[in-house]
Structure 1
């Protein structure tokens, strides 16, 4: 694993725009092709194997959590845990997720967290870095079958549905360019898979009290919805109680609530202690030695993470200071030229599909971190 400086492609901004990637300067320079990461095929094999192994562990954990009714540890209200159980028993389909790894190319990948519900950095990992590879390293390869596997998984989901559920609405927040870009990319893939689609923002979703169903701006029923909007936020919305009636198919499904908060990390460690791809994690700090860190169970973009070094600590800002915490052993990110990379490894359906790399000059990846392309030899 190496970090290699490069000369950016001429007119790279235009080339990003051409594939629908319009947020390359989101919050400052986000897409950075003045460097890249090089891997060996053996390193890629290690990342792929860890991704599929952890996916299976997560599925085992969901089954056990449901059987043991451990919703309180996950801060899931009992009535919503019930629809998690029902969604799991129906085998409601999942589209995707992203495991975030610390990896140096030497030891096994270690799981920092699992973005199981609303992972982003997808378009850039799929299409954008592939077009970069074809132009810059045409004779090399890349761990990236994301687009093909997304298409295949949408086709699988389409085959399981019928009627109005094959009309798939897509939603996200109104004020996020990144979220809109991600949703529009996924909507395009869904169209290729056969779905009819429509985009609407989360604040445009209505409730038809007569038919007891969610509806769009034309009062058409929403019977299948892809939401780039976290489950824990949906629960707190005015329409949250209507979700208990399960009036529509949701992507990601309700059972992903169990995996989409960081409370899953100590539960995974309890179920699979000393697993080589897991870090020690607990619901209190008494079993950890310095350094260790705390994370709010519902948090995003590295918000309100604290690293405890013993005589000092390092904390990021955020809006999640009132959330319950979990505690995890601190495993330092590798440093390459004073930058700390985190590898996001995608699982689509049941298969590992590729990686994207975010790096920062601080040891905690945040929304200011840059996306760096990769290749392997």
Structure 2
């Protein structure tokens, strides 16, 4: 693995805008950085792909065991939503994506830092924008990931998405979330799906019909959400999710994997695994308290 220092393309911001990347600046600071890139060997890429697949399988095994052993209390998941997770898992509700954050130096085994299993971003940047940059700066090189192609295939293969309009939602005041959601919606359109965008603040609930609806009172039956399950269940409308009036991407069983408490559970289930870091609930709780303390100082 080699880190290469580069001179940014002179009109990089314009080029980002041209491919729909409208949040290359966030909070008046550059979010997209062309000052360096990384070059990997084929062997390193093979290792990363294999490790990612192995970790995903470990996570699926962990879900099954957590459900069988009813370990939901460790994840702070209430009994009602634990049952929702169970039903979702037993139905094998489809998932669209997830993102492993790994520490890797090209010499030692990659280590899992976090599994963002519910609301991963950096999709548009890592697929379309990076590919556009690569064609200009390194036209003979290849891009490691195939995010764009695999997301398109996933939208094509989830059968129930063709049954009704698929709504895409995120919070109103986040350029990054909106850009990510619109990229995914564009992929869904390419996959032949009927789509509609709605901000999460505009989603309504019909008490008489017991359904979610849009601003035109059209029923929302399928919804992609860039909004964490942990937040959804705490919203005033969270209780209505228990009756499953809407099909969701990501599915309810992702409540288990997106929870940071999955890290000490993985270490318990698979101790000394070469791609896991030692983790315990005591350390996890202390880490959370430390983070909260830092945030309160800001």
Bucket of the pairwise TM-score, normalised by the shorter protein: over 0.9
Unaligned 5+ segments in structure 1 are 286-291, 297-303, 307-314, 322-377
Shift of 1:10: 2.8
Distance 2:82 2:13 in 1: 45
Q: Which residue number in structure 1 is paired with residue 114 of structure 2?
A: 113
What RMSD over aligned residues (CA atoms) do the two structures have, in Å?
1.7
Unaligned 5+ segments in structure 2 are none
Shift of 1:136: 0.7
Closer, same or farther: CA 66–33 of 1 in aligned 2, 3 Å: same
2:237 matches 1:239? yes
> What does 1:1-377 correspond to in 2, within 5 Å?
1-27=1-27, 28-157=29-158, 159-164=159-164, 167-285=165-283, 294-296=286-288, 317-318=294-295
Distance 2:290 2:114 in 1: 12
Closer, same or farther: CA 193–294 of 1 in aligned 2, 3 Å: farther
Distance 1:139 1:193 in 2: 29
Contact 1:262 1:295 in 2 (8 A): no
Contact 1:5 1:36 in 2 (8 A): yes
**TM-score normalised by L of structure 1:** 0.76
**TM-score normalised by L of structure 2:** 0.95
| Structure with more strand by fraction | 1
Contact 2:222 2:248 in 1 (8 A): yes
| Structure with more helix by fraction | 2
Q: Secondary structure of the equivalent of 1:72?
A: helix
Q: Secondary structure of the equivalent of 1:281?
A: coil
Distance 1:295 1:32 in 2: 29
Q: Secondary structure of the equivalent of 1:124?
A: helix
Closer, same or farther: CA 39–305 of 1 in aligned 2, 3 Å: farther
The number of aligned residues is 296
Shift of 1:106: 0.5
List, as ranges, runs of 4+ consecutive aligned residues in structure 1 with deviation greater than 6 Å: none
Shift of 1:93: 0.6
Distance 1:257 1:34 in 2: 37
Q: Can you list the C-alpha shifts for 1:40-73, whole angstroms capped at 9, x where unaligned?
A: 1111111111101001111111111111111000
Q: Secondary structure of the equivalent of 2:101?
A: strand
Distance 2:62 2:131 in 1: 34
Distance 1:111 1:84 in 2: 24
Distance 1:119 1:136 in 2: 27
Closer, same or farther: CA 179–161 of 1 in aligned 2, 3 Å: closer
Shift of 1:151: 0.1
Q: Can you list the C-alpha shifts for 1:126-150, whole angstroms capped at 9, x where unaligned?
A: 1111111111111111211000000
Shift of 1:316: 7.8
Q: Secondary structure of the equivalent of 1:113?
A: strand
Distance 1:249 1:29 in 2: 37
Shift of 1:305: 5.4
Contact 1:130 1:144 in 2 (8 A): no
Shift of 1:18: 0.8
Shift of 1:163: 2.7
Contact 1:269 1:278 in 2 (8 A): yes
Distance 1:116 1:19 in 2: 26
Shift of 1:209: 1.2
